[in-house]
Amino acid sequence: MPQVLFENVKLNNTISLNNRILMAPLTRCMADDDLVPTDDMVKYYAKRAKAGLIISEATIIRPDGQGYPNTPGLFTHAQIAGWKKVTDAVHAEGGKMFAQLWHVGRVAHPYFFDGEVLAPSAIGVEGTVPRMRELTYQTPKAVTQEEITQLVADYAQAAVNAIEAGFDGVEIHGANGYLIDQFLHYAANQRTDEYGQTPENMSRFALEVTDAVADRIGADRVGLRVSPGAYFNMDGDQRDRAVFDVLISALNSRNLAYLHVGIFDDAMEFEYLGGSASAYLRSIYKGTLVGVGSYTAESGAEAIQNQKFDLLAIGRPFIANPDYVEKVKAGQAVKEYDESMLATLD
C-alpha cells in the first residue's frame, strides 16, 4: 500500500484533506438541458467522496463558455441548488469538493447559446465539437478590454456562487487550451494591447481572474490548473516558456490552495520546458503542486516521495473505480478504464 498517499494534509489554515488522492476534474456531459446537476450526478460524486478532494467536472461560468453538450453551469439559481445537493452528499460522506470554473473561449460553439464565440484573438481551432461532429468550430471574435473586465467579474461571481452551492473552494480552469490558456500561448494570443505580446501582458488575464476570485472567496479556497506544455486544442511555441515563467513566479506570492498541472500523460516532455510540465512547474512554484497524468497509485506515490509534486490527481481510474481510494488502501486491483465507460454515469 503506497502509504504516503494516505497521510492527512493541511493545505492551509482553512482546508485539510484526509489523504493525498484528488479526483481529477472529468467532464461527463450529463447535466440536464438547463445545465443543472442531476440526481445521478449526486450519487456519482457521493460514491467518490473518499478522495481527499474531489474537483468537479469543468463547470461553465456563463452561457458563452460552453463548448460541449450538457456540461453543468454555475450561473443560475437552479444550477446552484443542483450543485448544493451534490456537495451536501459529498460532505455527508466526509469528503471535500472544489468546483472547476470553466470558459472554453474559442472552443465554444454558438449551437449552445445566443451570442459570439470570444477569444483573445480571432484565431480559430480546427475541427468539430466532440460527439456532435456536424458542428464545425468557428473563428472567434477577439474580446475587447470591456469584455475582458466582464469576464473577470463573471469568474469571480461564479466562485461566489460555488461557495453558495456548498463547495469548499474552486479550481480555476486555466489549462487544456481553454479561454485562460488561450491568453497564455502565442498560438492563440496575438493581441497588441496590454493582454498580448509580452510575457507580462499575456499572463495578465490569468492573474486578474485569480486575484478577482481570491478577493471574493479567499486565496485559501482557490486552486489553479495550468498547461505550460501545449497538448490539447493548442500548438506550443518556444516563446510560451517565458509567459509561464512570469505567471508561475507571480503565483508564488498569491498563497493559493494549490497549483495543478493540466496534462493527460505526465511522461510527455516539452522541449521548450526542458522536460515534463510537472517538473517545469516544480522548478518555479514554491507552494502545493498537484501532479496528474497516467499515474497509478504506486507511480504517483513514488513521485510524491521523490518530491516531484505533493498531491496526486487521478482521472480515468476514478471513472472505472468509484471506490478507487478504498481499493488502493486495501491493496486490491483496480479495474481498467475503458472509453465505453463514458456512456453511463456509475
CA neighbor of 290 nearest in space, from 309, 275, 276, 271:
309
Of 40-48, 81-89, 206-214, 312-320: span binding ligand FNR (CB under 6 A): 312-320
| Positions in 156-195 near ligand FNR (CB under 6 A) | 173, 175-176
280 is catalytic: no
HSE, side-chain direction, 13 A CA sphere, residue 132: 14
Q: Binder to ligand FNR among 27, 203, 233, 321 (CB under 6 A)? A: 27
Q: Binder to ligand FNR among 35, 58, 89, 142 (CB under 6 A)? A: 58
Q: Binder to ligand 8K6 among 193, 264, 326, 332 (CB under 6 A)? A: 264
| Angstrom distance (rounded) from CA 191 to CA 178 | 17
Residue nearest to ligand 8K6 (CB): 27
| 130 in contact with ligand 8K6 (CB under 6 A) | yes
| 76 in contact with ligand FNR (CB under 6 A) | no
Q: Binder to ligand FNR among 26, 41, 162, 277 (CB under 6 A)? A: 26
| 294 in contact with ligand FNR (CB under 6 A) | yes
145 three-class SS: helix
Residue 259, beta-bridge partner list = 224, 289
HSE, side-chain direction, 13 A CA sphere, residue 188: 32
Active-site choice (44, 137, 178, 186): 178
Residue nearest to ligand FNR (CB): 315
HSE, side-chain direction, 13 A CA sphere, residue 310: 16
Closest to ligand FNR by CB, 98 vs 201, is: 98
| Angstrom distance (rounded) from CA 203 to CA 205 | 6
Number of residues in contact with ligand FNR, rule: CB under 6 A?
21
Contact 296, 6 (CB under 8 A): no
Closest to ligand FNR by CB, 42 vs 314, is: 314
For the window 144-183, what string marks contact with ligand 8K6 as x by the rule CB under 6 A? ----------------------------------------
| Angstrom distance (rounded) from CA 74 to CA 79 | 6
HSE, side-chain direction, 13 A CA sphere, residue 215: 11
DSSP class per residue in 235-300: ---TTHHHHHHHHHHHHTTT--SEEEE--S-TT--BGGGTB-HHHHHHHH--S-EEE-SS--HHHH
Which residues are at the interface with ligand 8K6 (CB under 6 A)?
A: 27, 58, 68, 130, 231-232, 264
Which residues are at the interface with ligand FNR (CB under 6 A)?
A: 24-27, 57-58, 100, 173, 175-176, 225, 262, 264, 292-294, 314-317, 342
